[in-house]
Structure 1
Amino acid sequence: MGVAATRAPDQVAFHRTELSVILSLYGRMVAAGEWRDYGISCLRDVAVFSVFRRTAEMPMYRIEKRPRLRGKQGQYAVIGLNGQILKRGNDLKTVLRVLERKLIRAVD
Structure 2
Amino acid sequence: MNDQPDPPSFESQMHGGADVVDLRDYRNTRVALPVTFHRRELDQILWIYGRMVGEGEWRDYAIDHLADRAVFSVFKRAGELPLYRIEKNPKLAAKQGAFSVANTAGMILKRGHDLKQVLKVFDKSLRLID
For the aligned pair, the TM-score class normalised by the smaller chain equals 0.7 to 0.9
Superposed counterparts of 1:35-50, under 5 Å = 35-50=58-73
Matched, 1:91 2:110: no
Following superposition, the deviation at residue 10 of structure 1 comes to 1.9
Percentage of matched positions with identical amino acids = 54
Q: Which has the higher helix share?
A: 1
Structure 1 stretches of 4+ moved >6 Å:
none
Q: Secondary structure at the match of 1:57?
A: coil
Q: Which residue number in structure 2 is paired with residue 24 of structure 1? A: 47
Letter in structure 2 aligned against 1:90:
H
Q: Secondary structure at the match of 1:48?
A: strand
Q: Which residue number in structure 2 is paired with residue 76 of structure 1? A: 99
Q: Secondary structure at the match of 2:35?
A: coil
Structure possessing the higher radius of gyration over alpha carbons: 2
Letter in structure 1 aligned against 2:85:
R
**TM-score of the pair, normalised by structure 2:** 0.72
**CA–CA distance in 2 between the matches of 1:44 and 1:22?**
20
**CA–CA distance in 2 between the matches of 1:78 and 1:33?**
20
Letter in structure 1 aligned against 2:51:
R
Unaligned runs of 5+ in 2: 1-22
Q: CA-to-partner distance for each residue in 1:26-65, whole Å, 9 max, x for gaps? A: 0000000000000000000000000000000000000000
CA RMSD of aligned residues (A): 2.0
Unaligned runs of 5+ in 1: none
Q: Which residue number in structure 1 is paired with residue 79 of structure 2? A: 56
